[in-house]
């Protein structure tokens, strides 16, 4: 097992068990060992966490890890799953599809994991899911691509903790058309995730009477962007941007330098600034621009008790940064998916009476039978509806404006605005 020391927790088995033991004092009057005595086995439930520890997804990987460790700690403090402790086993996939498939195989054959979990970047999901299907290993992804709900994957792959791009852009298009403009230039990364934005937003804005007049695909490894901005048509009313990777700050700064004060309206997905401090020098031009957020980074005036609980458990302040380092900004708009997915896994295993790998099929069937989860400590982003046929969850979407280098939510799009017709029924497929 790869011993990754970059995150807040060393995900070795020794450390996972040590963390579990240390949690006992804060949890309940029962000593830790007593809370697991009713289980059929003392063996932990092993969850293989496919982490983007290196590569273009590393910022997400770091915060997906912190979120995962926090949720696993709370689950263990509450007695684990079916009376058994949860053990998180982490492998770095390098944000690479080939390595992703290799990691899935290690989880199944070397680490003897019960399930695989956690993958974000869509090209890694697409490269890994077929191997999970061959191994009959439940694969719970925390991505956003439409690849699950489109039917291109398999019955073993589920996305129950975060909405997909198709749903997100359907919810955003009416706001863009009504408030910002109808002639849109799109800037997106040139791989599956970006292609989802390109295709589905083009459809969604057309339904609102708008049009995408230019589509600028940028290689995910690109480090300089000014040459792309020169291709934006003059008649553009709205620039729609969604970028990822370590160069996102450069991307946004160069966009500001290129346009200056005479910019078009700008609508972005917060992916372009995940893990980036909005008060960073060079980002002043973002004042008055809009963003999609999966979960609001900055604590809002109407902050729920569930958001407070979630922030406190992970160690995040009201600005969405680490309580230990205000410059260490989280990937707040996405990482809730890890938290919520782990609680779905817990509920599914309990509903299935999961006792071991022989019950993997029962676990998938139990999750497929689920329909909704209310907003709660387990689902702090908001209420959810789950479509067992498409293996995809739906939830609220947030539209925020930059004011004084902070994000202020100006509209919450109800989950119904993101509904679309089913494209697959995985429940009819064989295991």
- How do residues 300-325 score in pLDDT, each as one tens digit? 999 999 999 999 999 999 999 999 99
Q: What percent of the chain has pLDDT over 90?
A: 85
- Say if residue 230's pLDDT is above 70: yes
Which residue's entry shows tokens 């509920």?
347
Q: What is the mean pLDDT of the chain?
A: 91
Strand order in the sheet with 183-189: 211-218, 183-189, 238-241, 265-269, 290-293, 397-403, 406-413
Instruction: Give 260's pLDDT tier (boundaries 50, 70, 90).
Output: confident
pLDDT at 20: 39
Phi, psi of 430 (to 5 degrees): -80, 160
- Say if residue 29's pLDDT is above 70: no
pLDDT at 8: 35
- What integer is the mean pLDDT of 80-101? 98
pTM beyond 0.85: yes
pLDDT at 39: 56
* 27-36, 341-350, 384-393: the lowest-pLDDT one: 27-36
pLDDT at 3: 34
Per residue in 128-172, pLDDT tens? 999 999 999 999 999 999 999 999 999 999 999 999 999 999 999
**Which three-class secondary structure string do you get for 50-116?**
EECCCCCCHHHHHHHHHHHHHHHHHHHHCCCECCECEEEEEEECCCCHHHHHHHHHHHHHHCCCCEE
pLDDT at 11: 37
Question: What's the CATH code, domain 13-163+333-394?
Answer: 3.40.50.2300
Task: Give CA–CA dist 306/30, Å, rounded.
Answer: 26
Task: Give CA–CA dist 258/278, Å, rounded.
Answer: 19
- Say if residue 98's pLDDT is above 60: yes
In the chain, list all ranges with CATH 3.40.50.2300. 13-163+333-394, 165-293+396-418
- What integer is the mean pLDDT of 401-428? 97
Instruction: Give 12's pLDDT tier (boundaries 50, 70, 90).
Output: very low
Instruction: Give 38's pLDDT tier (boundaries 50, 70, 90).
Output: low
H/E segment holding residue 192:
helix 192-207
- What integer is the mean pLDDT of 364-385? 98
- Say if residue 406's pLDDT is above 50: yes
pLDDT at 198: 97
- What integer is the mean pLDDT of 340-344? 98
pLDDT at 85: 98
- Say if residue 221's pLDDT is above 50: yes
More confident residue, 166 or 15: 166
pLDDT at 42: 77
pLDDT at 26: 41
Q: Which CATH architecture has domain 165-293+396-418?
A: 3-Layer(aba) Sandwich (3.40)
Q: What percent of the chain has pLDDT over 70?
A: 90
CA distances from 201 to 64, 98, 166, 176, 251 (A): 27, 29, 8, 11, 21
pLDDT at 261: 83
- Say if residue 10's pLDDT is above 80: no
Instruction: Give 40's pLDDT tier (boundaries 50, 70, 90).
Output: low
């Amino acid at each position: 097992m790869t011993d990754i020391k970059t995150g807040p927790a060393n995900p070795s088995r020794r450390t996972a068990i040590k963390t579990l033991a240390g949690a006992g004092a804060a949890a309940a009057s029962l000593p830790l060992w007593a809370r697991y005595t009713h289980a059929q086995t003392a063996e932990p439930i092993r969850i293989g966490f496919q982490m983007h520890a290196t590569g273009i997804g590393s910022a997400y990987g770091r915060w997906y890890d912190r979120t995962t460790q926090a949720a696993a700690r709370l689950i263990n403090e509450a007695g684990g799953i079916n009376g058994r402790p949860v053990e998180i086993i982490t492998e770095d996939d390098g944000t690479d599809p080939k390595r992703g498939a290799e990691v899935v195989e290690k989880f199944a054959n070397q680490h003897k994991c019960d399930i695989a979990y956690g993958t974000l970047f869509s090209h890694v999901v697409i490269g890994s899911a077929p191997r999970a299907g061959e191994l009959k290993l439940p694969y719970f992804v925390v991505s956003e691509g439409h690849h699950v709900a489109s039917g291109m994957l398999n019955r073993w792959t589920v996305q129950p903790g975060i909405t997909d791009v198709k749903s997100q852009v359907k919810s955003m298009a009416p706001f863009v058309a009504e408030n910002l403009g109808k002639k849109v230039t799109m800037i997106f990364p040139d791989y599956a995730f970006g292609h989802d934005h390109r295709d589905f937003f083009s459809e969604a804005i057309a339904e609102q009477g708008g049009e995408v007049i230019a589509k600028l695909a940028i290689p995910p490894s690109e480090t300089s962007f000014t040459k792309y901005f020169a291709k934006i048509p003059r008649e553009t009313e709205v620039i729609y941007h969604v970028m990822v990777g370590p160069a996102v700050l450069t991307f946004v700064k160069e966009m500001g330098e290129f346009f200056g004060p005479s910019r078009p309206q700008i609508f972005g997905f917060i992916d372009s600034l995940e893990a980036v401090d909005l008060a960073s020098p060079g980002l002043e031009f973002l004042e008055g621009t809009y963003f999609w957020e999966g979960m609001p980074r900055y604590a809002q005036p109407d902050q729920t008790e569930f958001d407070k609980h979630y922030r406190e458990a992970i160690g995040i302040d009201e600005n969405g940064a680490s309580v230990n380092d205000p410059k260490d900004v989280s990937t707040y708009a996405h990482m809730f998916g890890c938290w919520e997915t782990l609680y779905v896994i817990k509920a599914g295993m309990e509903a299935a009476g999961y006792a071991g790998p022989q019950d993997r099929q029962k676990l998938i069937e139990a999750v497929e039978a689920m329909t909704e989860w209310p907003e709660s400590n387990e689902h702090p982003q908001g209420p959810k509806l789950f479509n067992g046929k498409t293996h995809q969850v739906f939830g609220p979407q947030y539209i925020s404006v930059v004011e004084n280098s902070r994000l202020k939510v100006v509209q919450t799009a109800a989950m119904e605005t993101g509904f679309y017709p089913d494209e697959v029924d995985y429940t009819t497929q064989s295991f």
